[in-house]
Amino acid sequence: MLSRPAIIAVGRTKFGEHYEKEPEKLIEEAWLKSSEEARIERKDLEACYLSDYFLPITNKLGLEEGFLSELTELHVPMEVTRSFGSALLNGCNAIQAGRYSVVLVGGLEKMTDRWDKIRDDLMLLEDPWSYYAGCTPEANHELMLRAYIKKYGITGKDLEKLNLALAHISVKNHLHATKNEYAQYQRKITVEHVLKARKNARKPLGLYDFAPISDGATALILTNEEVARKFTDEPVYILGSSSATDYLTFSARESMTSFLVTEIAIKNALKMAGISLLDIQVAELYDQSTVMEMISLEDLGFCKRGKAWMSIYESCQDYKGYYRINGRKLSVNMNGGLKADGNPLGATGGAQIFEIFKQLRCEAGERQVENDEKVKYGCVLELEGFGTKGYVYILGRDLE
C-alpha cells in the first residue's frame, strides 16, 4: 500500500486586492504561517512545488523557481505548475515514491495588478477559436446553464426555482465568508442583490454569480507519515488524490452539461481512499460561478443529473450550514468558496485544502461544521480552465 502523504501545517494570506504588496511578500506570509504552525525551518525543506497561472504576465516574472530560491535562500529542487492542485499532486507523488520526506507546496497569484487586461488573460485558459469568436471568461458558464436548462427541460416554476437556487449558492457562500477572516468579501448579500445584478446585466448570470479576481497566496507543508508524527499529533492525510484532463475546446467536448474531469477524478480518488462518497461530510468545490458549484455536485455524484438545483433550493429555504441531499448533510464551501473567499488562481486550491484541513482538525472556529458525528472526511475539487483539468483530493485523519 502506498504511504499516505500528510499535511502537517497550512498557511494563507487574506485574499483580495493587495495593492501595495509584492508577490514575494504574499508567498512569504503564507509560508511563514504554515512553518510557524509546524515549527519547521526552511532548511528542513527538501523540495518546493509552487503554482501560479499568470505571474509571467501580471508581474513580468518568469522562472518563478529562481524567485522562490532567492526568497527562501534554498537551492533544493523546485518546480512550478499552474494550479495548486497540480503542485500538490507533484508533492504527493514525490512523497509516496519516497523521494522526499518534507516538501513545501505553495500557490500565489496577483491578478489585480492587471485588472484592465485580466479578462483577456483569462481567455488563455480557453481555446483560441472561442476567443476569436468573442467568448468571454463568463460566457461558457452561461452556455452551460442554457444547455442544462434545455437538456433537462426545466421550465416555468422549476426554472424560477433553478435561478433562485443559483442565487442562493452565492448568498450562502457570502454568508460563510463572514466567518472567514481571510476572505475577500466578508459581507452578507441577499438573493435580491444577486437578482438585481442579473437584471442589470440583462443576463441569466450577473456579477454575484461569478468569483472575483484576487491576489493572495497559500502554502502547506507535506511530509510522509513517519515524519509527520515528529511535528504534529494531528496530521491530515491525503487519502485520495487524482486528476484528469479534457479538451481545451468546450464546444468539442461530448457533454456540455457536466465536467468529465470531475467524474473521472472523484471515481479514482474514492477508489484510492477506499471510502464511499457518502462518507464525505464537507466539500470545497470550485465555484468559479454558481453554475459550476451546482454542476460539480452532480459531477461528484452527490446529486443526480439534472436535480442538484432542487436540493440546493430546498436546503436554502431555511439554510442551516449544509445542503441536505437525499437525507444526508453536506457542507459545501465553508470558507466562502471562490465567490466570497476569493479566487487568486494559483493559490485558490491551497485555500480549499486549508479549509478542509481546518475542518478536519476542528480548528475552523465559527465556520466549524457541526455534524451529528465528527467530520472524518472532506474533499476538494479544483478545476483548471473551464473544466479542462480537474483535481480531486480526499482528506481525512485519525484512521487508526
Partner 1 sequence: MSSEPIERRVSYLGDRLRGRRCQICGKEYFEMKDYCGDCGRKSFGKMVDMDLFYEKGKLELCTFINEPTNKFTKLGSYIYGILSFHDGNIRIPGRLTDHIIKGNEEVDLSAFEGRNIVPRFRRRYSVGRRDVIPTISLTFTFADEYYLHQEYSTVKPNKEYDTPGIVGYGVYTSKFRIQERNIERSVPFIDEDAVTAAVEAGKLALIHSGVDSSLVGKIYVGSESNPYAVKPIASKVAQVLKLGEEDEDVQGVDAVDTGFACKAATSMFKDAASLVNYPKSNIQYAMVIGADNSQAAPRDSPGGELDLFVGYGGCAYIFGKHDVIAEIEGWYSCTSDTPDFWRRDGEPFPMHGGRFTGDPAYFKHVRKAAKKLMKRLNLQVVDVDYFVPHQPNVSFPVRIAKELGFKEEQYLPSLQIANFGNTYSGSSPMGLAAVLDIAKPDERILIVSYGSGAGSDAYSLIATNQMLDKRKHQKMTVKYQAENPFLEYVDYTTYRRLKLGM
Residue nearer to partner 1 on the CB measure, 116 or 318: 116
The smaller minimum CB distance to partner 1, of residues 152 and 319, is found at 152
Q: How far is the CB of 339 from partner 1 (least distance, A)?
A: 18
**Measured from the CB atom, is 147 or 191 closer to partner 1?**
147
Tell me the three state secondary structure of residue 3. Answer: coil
Q: What backbone torsions phi and psi does residue 243 show, to the nearest 5 degrees?
A: -140, 160
**Shortest Å distance, C-beta 355 to partner 1:** 30
**Minimum distance from CB of 244 to partner 1 (Å)?**
16
In the bound complex, what is the minimum distance in angstroms from residue 252's beta carbon to partner 1?
A: 6
Q: Which is nearer to partner 1, 149 or 392 (CB)?
A: 149
Cell of 156: 416555468
319/317 Cα distance (integer angstroms)? 6
Nearest to 122 by CA among 205, 53, 59: 53
Least distance between partner 1 and beta carbon 204 (Å): 8
Q: Which is nearer to partner 1, 94 or 135 (CB)?
A: 135
Choice between 137 and 216, CB closer to partner 1? 137
Could you tell me the smallest distance in angstroms from the CB atom of residue 189 to partner 1?
20
CB 365 within 8 A of CB 288: no
Query: How many helices and strands, by DSSP H and E, does the chain display?
Result: 15, 11
Site for partner 1, rule CB under 8 A? 116-117, 119-120, 123, 127-139, 142-143, 146-147, 150, 201-204, 248-252, 256
CB of 136 to partner 1, least distance (A): 6
Q: In what order do the strands lie in the sheet with 47-51?
A: 78-81, 47-51, 102-110, 215-223, 6-12, 236-245, 389-396, 377-384, 280-284, 328-332, 323-325
Cα 240 from Cα 258, distance rounded (Å): 22
Q: CA of 347: how far to CAs of 211, 225, 392, in Å?
A: 14, 25, 16
Q: Are strands 6-12 and 215-223 parallel, antiparallel or unpaired?
A: antiparallel
3-state secondary structure of 107: strand
Cβ-contact 261, 245 below 8 angstroms: yes
Cβ-based nearer residue to partner 1, 49 or 148: 148
